[in-house]
Structure 1
Amino acid sequence: MFDPDYDSFLQVLSAGSLSAAARALRLSPASLSKRLTRLEDRLGVRLLHRTTRRIALTEAGRDLRDTLTQTRGMLQAVEDRIAGRGTSIAGRLRMTAPTSFGRMHLAPCLPAFLLQHPQIDLTLDLTDQFVDLLASNYDLAIRVTANVPVSLVGHRLATSGRVLCASPAYLASNGLPATLADLRGHRLLAADGQLPWHLAGPGGSTVHDGISHVRTNSSELVRELALDGCGIALRSLWDVAPALKSGALVRVLPMFAGSHDAAIFAVHPPTPLLNARLRAMIDHLALALDQRIGRCRTTYHRSGGRAGK
């Protein structure tokens, strides 16, 4: 589809290293390095700081990556339209999602979709690491966030009410905080990138910063640590509603909740024409997840809790 040097450049970014990209392209690392050097000489700029094990984009490299990714999407959309594939729900669809959400809520939604669209070749990778969609081969990412980057297109699938919570054992040992300032004397639990906490309270929006008692890249581990009495966490109702109902977790500072802007989004790189398989998946998830997350809110309300809208 592209100049071979452009394809080599994008393959290096997708693979994450020169050696891995060379294996995927069935080239030697030296041959692939020559291709990249040729492209840099042609453009008159340095695109990558690279070794055989690690690469880092320069500002010019990021510009080229974003441009090529958007151009590739536009060309694919034109090809699909001309070839009459625009309405065919078939072909490869690569997705990524947070581990806990993917296991608990995304996976149960997929059988019905695959039964309805048996010609979809689906790949779903679960990770709590940030995935750069503009530098990867993923078509769609599920994200629980309050802010979709301007470089991506976001489709809101469901609300994501969040509450501060802890186990009864932790609160029995450490006391129940009465004010937000009291949290400074407590152990906080959050995965990498989840602090500071953006909260909505009686006085409007506020931010509470701190350091997690345990450093981890796993949001799922944070929930387990909270259940085991290690501290106070800000958790989504889709994640902890059953524990709140059973009493394994109790709400802390009920006058505060996670920012009302947080929601579950399907995000993808900009494209002039959303292909049929992507549109079908987004529409399916919007309906299925809204029902599932709605049941979590209902479970929480029936247990006597008060969730953020």
Structure 2
Amino acid sequence: MNIEHLKLFVRLASTHNISSAGQELGLSPAVASSHINKLEEGLGIRLVHRTTRKVSLTEEGQAFLPHAEEVLATVEAARASVGAGSESPSGTLRVTAPASFGRMHLIPALKGFMARYPQLMVDFRFSDSIVDLVEGGFDIAIRNAELKDSTLIARKLAPDNRIVCASPEYLAQYGEPTTPETLKAHRCVNLAGLETWGFKTPSGIQNIKTRGCFRSDNGDAVRDACVDGLGIALSSTWCSYQHIKDGSLVQILKDYPLVSDTAIWLVYPSSRLIAPKVRAFIDYFTEYYGSPPYWDKALAQ
């Protein structure tokens, strides 16, 4: 069984187009089609349905896919192991991440990562939607939501600490709330789905249903609206730390920590062996962010 044929089949399962899958691997459409034919002939089964516009997996192809992915991951890890770490990880590393976190904390680290691993080609896809790693052909996902798929492995990359903040302009006009209860008299800007804020108080956890004139599904938009004085916001420290440091935002209600057990997670498909390029990403970015991460260190200074 040819490894290159397996690589093409795995990409084909994501792209549903032989030409696109072949192009990613540097193959012409004719050669790519020939590779798939040879793989099917070797197995004695049809793996894909072909139409003029699209290619889809047969039932047998769908059953074969996870085994093909496992073989490729094992081969890549085995090749690295016999080199005793002397060979740099190579190939394409495909990563999906939330848009805001990606722009703020992945792109600035990319130059150093690629300098350390010059044989890697990095493909970042930024989206606030939860994407399917296997279907999308991704090696790693960065997530700040609870892992629900038990077939994936999650590793904590950094804490996702959250604070309540407001602009100096807003506080000068409306005053500063001194307790969670007094938030009810204030305008708040909210991330969609997070309108109720939980606080730890001396008398126990207190949940406050906040109200305001603006809501968004994007953390950057909520933070920027808060900077512009539209109201009080709940924000992750990785998102707002620069604005706290430059004074355009002020942290409030420091004596009442938010009830939160959130984190930034590295998620990757389950496998006995982690591919060298995935291991390289995990090790580099864990070191780069630090413990505590640099954004929380900046707030503590």
- Per the TM alignment, residue 218 of structure 1 is displaced from its structure 2 partner at its CA by 2.1
Q: 1:218-276, CA deviations, whole angstroms, 9 ceiling, x for partnerless residues?
A: 21111111100111111122222232233321122222334452222211122221101
Question: Match of 1:281, as an amino acid?
Answer: F
- Corresponding residue of 1:261: 261
**CA-based RMSD:** 3.6
- Per the TM alignment, residue 115 of structure 1 is displaced from its structure 2 partner at its CA by 0.8
Q: How does 1:159-174 map to 2 (within 5 A)?
A: 159-174=159-174
- Corresponding residue of 1:218: 218
Question: Match of 2:123, as an amino acid?
Answer: T
- Per the TM alignment, residue 178 of structure 1 is displaced from its structure 2 partner at its CA by 3.1
CA 1:212/1:288 → structure 2, altered by over 3 Å: closer, same or farther? farther
In 1, the alpha carbon distance for the partners of 2:159 and 2:149 equals: 20
Q: 1:5-36, CA deviations, whole angstroms, 9 ceiling, x for partnerless residues?
A: 9987x43xx67xxxxx6985789x99279976
In 2, the alpha carbon distance for the partners of 1:103 and 1:6 equals: 28
Contact 1:73–1:271 (8 Å) recurs in 2: no
Which structure would you say has the larger Rg?
Answer: 2
- Corresponding residue of 1:77: 73
- Per the TM alignment, residue 68 of structure 1 is displaced from its structure 2 partner at its CA by 6.8
- Corresponding residue of 2:123: 123
Question: Match of 1:126, as an amino acid?
Answer: F
Q: 1:79-135, CA deviations, whole angstroms, 9 ceiling, x for partnerless residues?
A: 3356x2556511110112222222222222221111111110111122223323243
In 1, the alpha carbon distance for the partners of 2:212 and 2:147 equals: 24
Gaps in structure 2 of 5+ consecutive residues: 22-28, 34-48
Question: Match of 1:220, as an amino acid?
Answer: D
CA 1:122/1:220 → structure 2, altered by over 3 Å: closer, same or farther? same
Question: Match of 1:79, as an amino acid?
Answer: V
Contact 2:77–2:274 (8 Å) recurs in 1: no
- Corresponding residue of 2:51: 31
In 2, the alpha carbon distance for the partners of 1:70 and 1:187 equals: 50
In 1, the alpha carbon distance for the partners of 2:276 and 2:65 equals: 19
1:176 and 2:172 are equivalent in the alignment: no
In 2, the alpha carbon distance for the partners of 1:77 and 1:135 equals: 16
Contact 1:99–1:220 (8 Å) recurs in 2: no
In 2, the alpha carbon distance for the partners of 1:68 and 1:202 equals: 57
- Per the TM alignment, residue 174 of structure 1 is displaced from its structure 2 partner at its CA by 3.1
1:297 and 2:293 are equivalent in the alignment: no
Percent sequence identity is 29
Q: How does 1:283-294 map to 2 (within 5 A)?
A: 283-290=283-290, 294=293
Q: 1:127-151, CA deviations, whole angstroms, 9 ceiling, x for partnerless residues?
A: 2233232432221112234x33343
Contact 2:76–2:276 (8 Å) recurs in 1: no
CA 1:190/1:270 → structure 2, altered by over 3 Å: closer, same or farther? farther
Question: Match of 1:80, as an amino acid?
Answer: E
Aligned positions, number: 265
- Corresponding residue of 1:142: 142
Contact 1:109–1:289 (8 Å) recurs in 2: no
CA 1:30/1:77 → structure 2, altered by over 3 Å: closer, same or farther? closer
Q: State the TM-score, normalizing by the size of structure 2.
A: 0.72
Question: Match of 1:73, as an amino acid?
Answer: E
